[in-house]
Each structure stands twice: as C-alpha cells, then as structure tokens.
Amino acid sequence: MTVFIKTFGMRAVLGLGLAVAVAAPAAAVDIRLMTGPQGGVWIPLGGQLKDMWEKAVPGLNVQSLPGAGIANVRGVDEGKADVGFGNSISTVDGLKGTAPFPKAVTNVCNVATLYPQYYQVVVRADAGVNSVKDLKGKGVTTQQRGNTGELITSQLLKVNGLGYNDVKMSFVSYTDSVTQMQDGNAVAFTLGTTIPSGAVMDLAAARDIKLLDLADQIGEMKKINPGYTLVTVPKGTYPKQDKDVQVIGYATHIVASCKLPADTVYAMTKAMASNIASMAAVNKSIAGLTPKGMAEDIGVPFHPGAAKYYQEAGVTVKTN
C-alpha cells in the first residue's frame, strides 16, 4: 500500500476512498414487514414505513407481506419476518406463552408504539341486538383466525357464556365482512382497528348501524388480559352516532426481530419519529405522536437500536 500511494499520489487515495463509499450501499439488506388484513389500515401504513425506511437506510429493501396481530408476532419470532405490526395485548401474551401462543416467543423486541386501537362491535340498527348476549344464534363476522380482533371476539363471547358454536360465525376480511353485513348474512361485525374505521364507514354508507357499548364487559375482559383498557369512540365518529360509546382498547406498535442490527433499527426508529405527519396522513390517530409516546412502556422490552434513539431523545426505556 505504501508503494501504491507513492506511485499514484493523492489522486489514488481519493479514488480508493470514493470506491469504498460507492461500494458500501451496494450491500443491499432485505427485510420482510408483516402488515395486516385486506381493508385494514396496516397495509397502507406499511407502505409509508417501507418508503421512509428505504430512504433512511441506504441499501435497505423492504418487502411488505399480509399479516395480523398474532400471526405477525409469531412470524417475527420464527424468522418468517423481520418486522411487523403488533397489538400490545397479544404481544404480551406471546412473551408469556399464553394462549393462543403455543409457547413463549423469545425473539420479539419492541420498536415503537404508534396509536390506540379500538375493538368495536358494529351491529345493524334493525337487528334488535343491544348486548353481546343478544348475538346468540345470529350471524357474526370477524377477521381470520390469528388476528387480534378475532381473538378478542372469542374472549368476549366467552365472558358472556357463548362460544363460536352458539353463533353463525364467519372469519373473513374487513371487505368481505362489510359485504356480509350489507347482504344480511351477518348482523354483527367485530373488529379491532382505528377510528373511524374505513370499513365501518363503508358499511354505514349502505346500512344504518350502531356500536355496542362495552363498558360493562371490561371487568371480566381484564381478568383474561390485564392489558385491556376502556376507550371512548366520540359521538359523531360514525353516521347517526349521537352519543359517546365506550369500547375495549389496546395499542398498536411495531415489533422487530431482536437479531436485527442495532444501527438499522436505530435508523428506522428515527425515521418514524421524523415522519409523523406522513404516517398521520394514513391514520390521523398518529397525529401528535412524540418520541415519548413512541417509547410508552407496554410490557414489551425495546430493541437496543430503538432504545438508543429514545435515550438520545431524552426518554429512558427498558431493553430486557
């Protein structure tokens, strides 16, 4: 190397430096992002994450895959995905190894809390359904098995002395659930998502609907998972909704493989904090999110890369 420099001078040194700089981004890194069911907000929000992450990390390629809250946590843990959307209640179940997880997950780290989720029981206004018990013998549609909304539905039926065999159950996408409600094949549509839900708004454009108030259910539901909270769907959220309705709440967050390089996750976390407006354009519940809010303790240890960003932002988090 000494002879090389003496022979070709500073031009060679600069040329070598340029070659290294150009070569570095060529080492592409592919990661798989599990999003959500068709018709939900996780798919378009996943598109925003893909764009901002690929811009923030040179050489990063993000492949978006369909998913669901429980399936995403298992997918990341089993190495089928690197990053995914999760729901706080089901991720905690995964860490504990409680149902529906067959065993405790060990390779799932928290990255960022994004927004609250609202578990909603939407019924046709003309169905005569005023409580969960009134669903017995009637058509109910929810998401595919493995989705957090489906799990909550099974738990809600259970605390009311019902099971899937006691109702006419359907496990389909949001889009198909709306169609079933419109066609009269179902009188209730249960889902866990943001408010207002686009799928519920589509249904409300064709049929009069109402939300069941679940305030009287929270006590029994918290016995199943203490992470459940009571949240309010303000009046006027949906057409003809003339009063506040309380429903079951939890949080949506981003999980990642604990094996992902810390520098990569640091850059991804910083990119999210720097692009709140872009994410809020897809889901307005994200508007006003801060690093402190992203670092909310939901019982899931943070990835070291995410923790590094939050510490720089003045927020201390747990990594184990």
Domain 26-114+253-312: homologous superfamily in CATH: Periplasmic binding protein-like II (3.40.190.10)
CATH 3.40.190.10 fits 118-250, yes or no: yes
pLDDT for residue 2: 34
| Percentage of residues of the chain with pLDDT beyond 70 | 92
pTM of the full structure? 0.71
Tens-digit pLDDT profile for residues 120-172: 999 999 999 999 999 999 999 999 987 889 999 999 999 999 999 999 999 99
Domain coordinates in residue numbering, the chain: 26-114+253-312, 118-250
Structure tokens at 83: 């990053």
Residue 27 CB burial class (10 angstroms; 0-12, 13-18, ≥19): exposed
| Res 282 pLDDT > 50 | yes
| Percentage of residues of the chain with pLDDT beyond 90 | 76
The mean per-residue pLDDT over the stretch 86-101 comes to 90
Tens-digit pLDDT profile for residues 195-225: 999 999 999 999 999 999 999 999 999 888 8
Tens-digit pLDDT profile for residues 3-41: 333 333 433 333 434 333 333 444 678 999 999 988 788
The mean per-residue pLDDT over the stretch 59-77 comes to 94
The mean per-residue pLDDT over the stretch 78-107 comes to 93
**85, 73, 90: which is closest to 49 by C-alpha?**
85
Tens-digit pLDDT profile for residues 39-55: 788 999 999 999 999 99
pLDDT for residue 181: 97
Over the chain, what is the mean pLDDT?
Answer: 89
Task: Tell me whether the CATH fold assigned to 26-114+253-312 matches the one assigned to 118-250.
Answer: yes
